[in-house]
Amino acid sequence: MADRIVAPRERYARWAFTVAGVCGCLVLAPQYFLEREIGLDHPPAITHPEYFYGFVGIALAWQIAFVIIASDPIRFRPLMPAAIVEKLSFAVATSILFGLGRLGQMLFLAGLLDLMLGIAFAWAYLTTRPQHTQPTT
């Protein structure tokens, strides 16, 4: 496949989705081995491991999707709204739980990071919209 020139409007989207996907994989993958430690550090212990591992698995799958989107933001642009929802749903949930006193500061900060990434994804979505050119006569 021949390399094509990457338009400036794609560069930002590639960067945003690559950073989010790679960093997300680095943060989430180790959690498969941290169930016990999480239960000890943030009691009570995890009583429904299927939810814990399900969350980690789905979140990790999304990180891989972010890297796929980064590979060709124009082609995979239709997935960007779902990626935005993935980030904002965690940000909103952690903000509400923190406001109710049901969440620690570290997870609240993780939610704020997801809020920033959600905004970055929204900007990528806006900047990769199709360019309509005037037909020449």
Overall domain count for the chain: 1
Residues 94-121 have a mean pLDDT of 97
What band does 96 get if pLDDT is binned at 50, 70 and 90? very high
Examine residue 120 and state whether it is found in any structural domain, yes or no: yes
Encode pLDDT of 17-34 as tens digits. 999 999 999 999 999 999
DSSP string over 78-125: GGHHHHHHHHHHHHHHHHHHHHTT-S-HHHHHHHHHHHHHHHHHHHHH
Give residue 4's pLDDT: 63
Measuring CA to CA, which residue among 68, 65, 105 is closest to residue 85? Answer: 65
Residues 49-72 have a mean pLDDT of 97
Residues 51-65 have a mean pLDDT of 97
Give residue 131's pLDDT: 79
Examine residue 137 and state whether it is found in any structural domain, yes or no: no
Query: Is the distance from CB of 79 to CB of 62 less than 8 angstroms?
Result: no
Share of the chain above pLDDT 90, in %: 83
Examine residue 135 and state whether it is found in any structural domain, yes or no: no
Q: Determine the Cα–Cα distance for residues 79 and 67; give it in Å rounded to an integer.
A: 12
Examine residue 43 and state whether it is found in any structural domain, yes or no: yes
Examine residue 2 and state whether it is found in any structural domain, yes or no: no
pLDDT at 132 over 80: no
Examine residue 87 and state whether it is found in any structural domain, yes or no: yes
Examine residue 57 and state whether it is found in any structural domain, yes or no: yes
Residue 122 zone, left/alpha/beta (φ > 0; ψ -120 to 50; rest): alpha
Domain assignment of residue 89, given as a range = 8-127
pLDDT greater at residue 45 or residue 70: 70
Examine residue 1 and state whether it is found in any structural domain, yes or no: no
Query: Is the distance from CB of 66 to CB of 21 less than 8 angstroms?
Result: yes
Query: How many CB atoms sit inside 10 A of residue 112's CB?
Result: 14
Flag the least confident range among 43-47, 72-76, 114-118: 43-47
